[in-house]
Amino acid sequence: MARRNDSDEEPRGNGFMIISAVIVLVVVLLGVFVVVTSDGSDGKSDGVASHASDSGAASSSGSADGNGGGTQSGAPAAGGCNPTDTDQKVPTTAPGDVTWSLVKTAALPRSKAAGPMVVNGLTASCYAHTPRGALLAAINTPYRVAMAAPDKAPVRKLVLPGAGRDKLEAQLSQVDVQAGELAQVAGFRVVSYTTQTAVVTLVNGSSSSHTLKASDITLQWSDSDWKVVARDDGSLTTPATPVSDLVGYIEFGGL
């Protein structure tokens, strides 16, 4: 993460060596997704995004996509919005039809049945109207919003309109996220689900580096898709809570 400077012409180096005020801002907005824990060896943030997830629940069969654009390997082609998942049962195991692609520095899942069916740059949409569709949206949306900052296109497409989204848009103008600052998804739990609203707990980070954090994200079915509901302060998740392990969660990760 770094403070946005439109005059910058060259990519920044160690983007995680940043102004503390900006760290606080992005942690508030993106919570569990941002790695700010010192590893105790060189004063840098623990770049969990470069490490394999401890979950081992799914292997990465997608292709690396450094720009976050285009169609992910092994997934439905972009442009067609026809998810086939109709299962309304809350998942108790990791989805089995998922391919993972490295989008910038985050491994993100895509289901052939539950979506996202349409990917346009860092914007991914068209999820099944099911618990699995909500889960895939809960994982993809915050990462894509974070990596696109300060670009607001994913926010406007993927986050429910309202005061919370307006505040998020204004705050994202101040930062951009650098490589190594996003923790990988490690597990999940669907807290509640109706056909209109879903609450998902996501766990991100690494057991081996003791950086696991859990946070809740709320989604609402709106305009024929799952949209993340931004909180009043502009954040996409509840405040992150450290957890010691994945007991009680379903392991799910792509690295």
Read off the pLDDT of residues 159-189 as tens digits, 9 standing for 90 and up.
Answer: 999 999 999 999 888 867 776 678 899 999 9
Highest mean pLDDT among 48-52, 78-82, 137-141: 137-141
> Which one is predicted more confidently, 5 or 180?
180
The pLDDT value recorded for residue 75 is 43
Please state the φ and ψ torsions of residue 199, each to the nearest 5 degrees: -125, 125
Averaged pLDDT, 102-117: 94
Rounded-to-integer distance, Cα 94 and Cα 215, Å: 18
User: Nearest Cα to 198, choosing from 242, 247, 254, 139?
Assistant: 139
pLDDT above 70 (res 12): no
3-state secondary structure of 15: coil
Is residue 138 within 8 A of residue 202, CB to CB? The reply is: yes
Sign of CA dihedral 84, 89, 90, 92: negative
| Least confident stretch, 63-72, 95-104, 244-253 | 63-72
The pLDDT value recorded for residue 31 is 55
Averaged pLDDT, 23-52: 40
The pLDDT value recorded for residue 60 is 38
Q: Does the pTM of the predicted model rise above 0.95?
A: no
